[in-house]
Structure 1
Amino acid sequence: MRRFALALAGTSLALAGCGFQGVQSIPLPGGPDLGDDPYEVSIEFENVLDLVPQSTVKVNDVNVGRVEDITLDGWRARVTVRLNDSVKLPDNAVATISQTSLLGEKYVAISPPEQGATGELGDGDEIEMVATSSSTEVEEVLSALSMLLNGGGIEQISTITKELNAAMSGREESIKSVLRRIDTFVGTLDRQRDTITDALDKIDDLLVKLDAEKETIADTIEKTEPAIAILEQNQKDLTKMLVGLDKFGDISTKVIRDSKRDLLTNLKNLQPVLKNLNKTGDKLPEHLGTILTFPFSDAFSNTVRGDFANMNMTVSLDIEELAHNLLTGTEYDKALDKSLKKQAEALRDLVSPPGISVTQTPPGVLGVGDEAGSGTSILPSIGMGDVDPAVQSLLMGGLS
């Protein structure tokens, strides 16, 4: 009896010296084997839920240690675990608070990262909060479900369904038409996806080029600043000029509107001229060359060679040909084939061919009675004695 009392007293003193914190400080029987030389690791969690000391620490669902202490470090929870010395983990291991079943106890699960395991976890190391997490609690699931069912999403879905039914009632055909158009639009986009992708690639290339030339663009913008300043200084004059241009535009519009009828009349009157000018075709440029040598042809320069001159002249007094040459393109042109043709036939019977004589004096030789230096006449003499006076007047007027 005395020995039992001494043992009990010794045990009480030992517990008091170790800082007894209740039943949770007593190691559970049958707990994980920590070996002869276990090592401690500190783990930071945002929330440890209902994790308690003496909880199990597992690696790949195998018990390898236990939770020694849980303390508060600011707004974080710091969990100190003790692991068996045979457990080898990387220095960047991750930790999670899980539970054995839906309503089971909590435990700490430590595992290597999915990629990039480095180093080795040792005594005194720390797993930071960025590498820790906690599983979803049943309480959280039930709370979210309660919010969904009581005034949450379900009720809102019911309200949305009722409003959609009220909005679509009587508008089924319009909604179907809209849906068909959306389907067509989406189909068109799908068919043009290569073109859209190519356009986006080109825009990307453009942005790359703009980024490469950003210094040049910035320099250009800086150099345009003086021009902008000049425009700002002349703002009033520019505004006045624009107002004047507006008035000029109104006046021009009024002038064009008022002169529309006269302009159309002038264009109609110009049409016959252009039509006859078009008829001349390629002949007009050829005959324009005779203006400088009128009334002679452009080959007149070959007539005089040194002190000799050659000339061959043909004079046609046919009334029909003269009238045709003089009246072509006028309003009397159409009357040539009728009345004028008959008159020309009557005049042809009355007019006899004129007598034409050419001087026989050799070119360059003075004739009788000619004075020295007066030159030699090379013009032909045309006899008009047998020509009708009206024809003579017409010919003399044309030759003059």
Structure 2
Amino acid sequence: MKLSATVAAVLFAASALPAAAQVSDGKVKIGILNDQSGVYADFGGKWSVEAAKMAVEDFGGKVLDAPVEIVSADHQNKPDIASNIARQWYDTGQVDSIMELTTSSVALAVQGLSKEKKKIDIVTGAATTELTGKQCSPYGFHWVYDTNALAVGTGGALVKQGGDTWFFLTADYAFGYSLEAQVTKFVTGQGGSVAGSVRHPLSNADYSSFLLQAQSSGAKVIGLANAGLDTANAIKQASEFGIVEGGQRLAALLFTLSEVHGLGLQAAQGLSLTEGFYWDRDDDSRAFSQRFFDRTQRMPNMVHAGTYSAVTQYLKAIKAAGSDDTEKVAAKLHEMKVDDVFGRGASVGKNGRLIYDMYLMEVKKPEESTKPWDYYKVVATVPGDQAYIKPSESGCPLAQ
């Protein structure tokens, strides 16, 4: 009888253990790894960290009774630095998942390491389709835009509007190459042509020689296959050269609300661009964005809103799985629908690509803006199944 009573007591104690026992290390730790001091600091940066913290707070600060912690670091747009930070986080920092990962070369490096370590990574700040293509991972997810969606959105719209000859100013790294290739494929597929291209280094200051080549090409559209301050600087200098006044159009192939704000409507007016989120889209987006503004003094772009969504969905997946075990959580992330302020009725493909609608925007003229941060006209909605490569055609072995 004494032994039976002891066994019963042990079983009762085990059944009474808190749900946090299903969470490794007694907590869930999420790392936001991005550029916080360089060319993409406004694109994601510390604002993505705030979006992640906001998601945790809105979730209640806990999942399965375990506290949720956000840590962050600046990878300086260098894959080796990013990999070293990620390895340290995984090996000794008790980090369960890494997110944001601005810069394609960084995202590919960290996704490869995450696959090796069997950890989940959710990319919200990088563009290359390789993340869900040949270099896909069972634990890797691509949550916001990619180069194909930008090509379909911005490139497709301008060809239909008569912009059928292009010249590219391209950032000299994986993201720039991929974006130029995707837009070129789409432009030529629609009957357009490419007059030429020139590559520039990351964090370039002087675009005069590149812009003169673009101007002399006679192309109707100058495609800026770069991002962040590189795009902003190119647009400013294009204005000084009178390129738009001369009849050519500028297509900012990766430009967000943050960069438009920094540039100002006078310089940015008339730009065509594609984003996956706009703060003034509807009542829900306005309410969310106002709360974000209250803590950051800026409206969110698609990277910020996407990071909020990714963190929230990750926590929902842990709750649904009843554990933070990587295999179980990854399965739930693939299985669960996404229906939040960022992604309406969205779903995750077998290759880890979140499939959701994108929006073609035109930047307003100064006289068209009626309130602070009123920068965009939504020209068209690009359905998710058109914006993104079908998982079965992505080259990802997991989707075959």
Say yes or no: TM over 0.5. Answer: no
Considering Cα pairs closer than 8 Å and 6+ residues apart, tell me whether 1 or 2 has the greater RCO: 2
More strand by share: 2
Q: For this structure pair, what is the TM-score category when the shorter chain's length is used for normalisation? A: under 0.3
Rg larger in 1 or in 2?
1
Q: Under a length normalisation based on structure 2, what TM-score does the superposition of the two structures give?
A: 0.16
